Amino acid sequence: MIAARRKAKIDQKRMAQLLDVPATVAQPPAIRAVDVHKVYRTRHTEYHALRGATLDVARGEFLSIMGPSGSGKSTLFNMIGGLGKPTSGKVFIDEVDVAHLDHNELAWLRCRKIGYIFQSYNLIQVMTCLENVMLPMAFAGLDSDRAREKALLLLELVGLGHRPLHRPAELSGGQQQRCAIARALANSPSIVLADEPTANLDQKTGGEMIELLCRLRDELGVTVISATHDPKMLMRSDRVLWIADGKIVRSCTPAELKAEGGGHHG
């Protein structure tokens, strides 16, 4: 019996060798950007914000991107999040070329699949926290009772359960940032784009938000990309990339970063 089982195992491996295929097929990346360029044109000037950015992000990976201000982090997020079109190059989400999506498919992607935590929050000022978090769920067609219930839970999760009826102007920068995080999670996205999500948070709250992003990865397999210089966030990432002048110039692990003296580069 045991011999037969062992034999079956060997046969399977042998079969893979004979067919020249890996025994386990590698998962395709959740996100792939290939040679992405973005040129912003105004009436008098032209600015080359991305100059051939290329990266792959595995499903369920927590990737952090570091780079000086103006190096193209937010622009890269906009291209990945389908908020702008690359001047050239391609972005694939789950192997689908974003440029080939029609208006409705793109709207679906932005609403259901990608949770975007904007650097400048982009909360709607005339709406309460609760309404801001409910809004993406309304777009997704969730009935308002369930949306309200879920929004309250999300606000509780980010520590704003006691402030559901405040408007953004009545909140501190850190509280607005947390509201923006709750809103990004409204439709249970499989990809979270977090643009400097702890920049305005104190150490403790920042740490809690990092743990929240890690839990999304660990428990739900969510893919997280953050733009950050927060050493705590860098250390919890699976991989760290550097962007400079619109190009990915380096990749390393948090352990390598630590060996070099922490995340205080670039």
| Contact residue for Mg ion among 64, 71, 74, 187 (CB under 5 A) | 74
Q: Which two tokens stand for residue 109?
A: 């992607």
| Contact residue for ligand ADP among 31, 36, 49, 147 (CB under 6 A) | 49
What are the CB-based long-range contacts (under 8 Å, 24+) for 216-221?
Answer: 216/185, 216/192, 217/60, 217/61, 217/62, 220/188, 221/59, 221/60, 221/190
* Residue 72 contacts ligand ADP per CB under 6 A: yes
29 or 72: CB nearest ligand ADP: 72
| Contact residue for ligand ADP among 55, 64, 74, 198 (CB under 6 A) | 74
Contact 195, 73 (CB under 8 A): yes
Residue 70 partner contact from ligand ADP, Mg ion, none using kind-dependent CB cut-offs of 5 to 8 Å? ligand ADP
217 or 229: CB nearest Mg ion: 229
Q: In whole angstroms, how close is the CB of 77 to ligand ADP at the nearest point?
A: 8
Cβ atoms within 10 Å of 43's Cβ, excluding its own: 4
End-to-end CA distance of the chain: 60
72 or 159: CB nearest ligand ADP: 72
Neighbouring residues of 195: CB distance < 8 A, sequence distance ≥ 6: 73, 74, 77, 116, 117, 118, 119, 226, 227
Cβ atoms within 10 Å of 201's Cβ, excluding its own: 21
Decide: helix, strand or coil at residue 120. coil
Q: Which stretch binds Mg ion (CB under 5 A): 86-94, 118-126, 231-239, 252-260?
A: 118-126
* Residue 40 contacts ligand ADP per CB under 6 A: yes
Q: Which two tokens stand for residue 232?
A: 């705590």
| Contact residue for ligand ADP among 47, 211, 251, 259 (CB under 6 A) | 47
What are φ and ψ of residue 244, in 5° steps?
-145, 135
Interatomic CA distance for residues 172 and 118, integer angstroms:
16
Q: Which stretch binds ligand ADP (CB under 6 A): 62-70, 93-101, 215-223, 254-262?
A: 62-70
| Contact residue for ligand ADP among 67, 86, 159, 254 (CB under 6 A) | 67
80 or 151: CB nearest ligand ADP: 80
187 or 228: CB nearest Mg ion: 228
| Contact residue for ligand ADP among 75, 175, 176, 187 (CB under 6 A) | 75
Residue 40 partner contact from ligand ADP, Mg ion, none using kind-dependent CB cut-offs of 5 to 8 Å? ligand ADP
74 or 132: CB nearest ligand ADP: 74
Interatomic CA distance for residues 142 and 45, integer angstroms:
44
Q: Which spans of this chain sit near Mg ion (rule: CB under 5 A)?
A: 73-74, 119
Interacting residues toward ligand ADP by CB under 6 A: 40, 47, 49, 67, 69-75
